[in-house]
Amino acid sequence: MGRMHAGGRFLALTIAALCVGLGVSGCGTGASDSAPASDSGASAGAENTQGGSDEAPVGEGDEAEASDSAGGDAPTALTGEPLPDGWPSEYLVPFGEVTLVLPIGAGVSVLVEGVDNDQAMGLIDEMVASGLASPAGVTDVGNGEWVAEVTGAGYEATYHYETGGAGLPNVEIMLLPDH
């Protein structure tokens, strides 16, 4: 049997635990009524907006700076599944394709594939500069992967970047209401 790296194990265990906790019928993609609510909803990029908003894209300001470590073009928009209604605009989402939106009780887990590492890591700095906290900052977990916790504005989020192994680099964002 092949070995699964720590990031893949983390994602697999997270999804398995959520499915068990929510029951199989609770697992799926798309927004739900249990998604976090906020008065300051966010748009999800030029090709993926919420409620027809003309706001700037989520993860704004990094388009010109983003570069793919493999030498290709970095994504410049957020595509795929829409972010849940009420996604707090303070919590930035890196450009790429949203492939999974999974409700977690009062929170949500979002998986974004095809993510540029530098752009994703820069979002942590942007959120801290805007007033959110990341007490431990970005923690390298090996194999080019990292994790960062961000808190404030009534929520706490864990951003987990993994290189994707044979797949696309991705970020899983677990956003929960702060208790």
129 domain-assigned: yes
More confident: 58 or 136: 136
Give the pLDDT score at 75.
82
Decide if 30 is inside a domain. no
Residue 113, token pair as written in the block? 């594939």
Q: How many structural domains does the chain have?
A: 1
pTM: 0.65
Q: Does residue 102 contact residue 31 with C-beta atoms inside 8 Å?
A: no
Task: Note whether residue 87 is domain-resident.
Answer: yes
Tens-digit pLDDT profile for residues 64-107: 333 334 445 678 899 999 999 999 999 999 999 999 999 999 99
Would residue 127 count as lying in a domain? yes
| pLDDT of amino acid 72 | 52
- 1 assigned to some structural domain: no
Domain containing residue 12: 6-21+38-177
Q: Residue 73: what pLDDT?
A: 66
The answer as to whether 126 is a domain residue is yes
Residue 128 located in a structural domain: yes
Give every CB contact of residue 160 below 8 A, 6+ residues apart in sequence: 7, 10, 11, 145, 146, 147, 171, 172, 173, 174
Measured in whole angstroms, the distance separating CA 96 from the mean position of its chain's CA atoms is 10
* Beta carbons of 173 and 159 less than 8 angstroms apart: yes
d(C-alpha 7, C-alpha 132), whole Å: 25
Q: Tell me what the mean pLDDT of segment 124-142 comes to.
A: 97
Length of the chain in terms of residues written: 179
Question: Which sign does the torsion angle of CA 126, 129, 132, 138 carry?
Answer: positive
33 is a domain residue:
no
Quote the CA–CA distance of 38 and 40 in Å, as a whole number.
5
Which residues fall within 8 angstroms of residue 171, CB to CB, at 6 or more apart?
A: 94, 96, 111, 112, 115, 120, 159, 160, 161
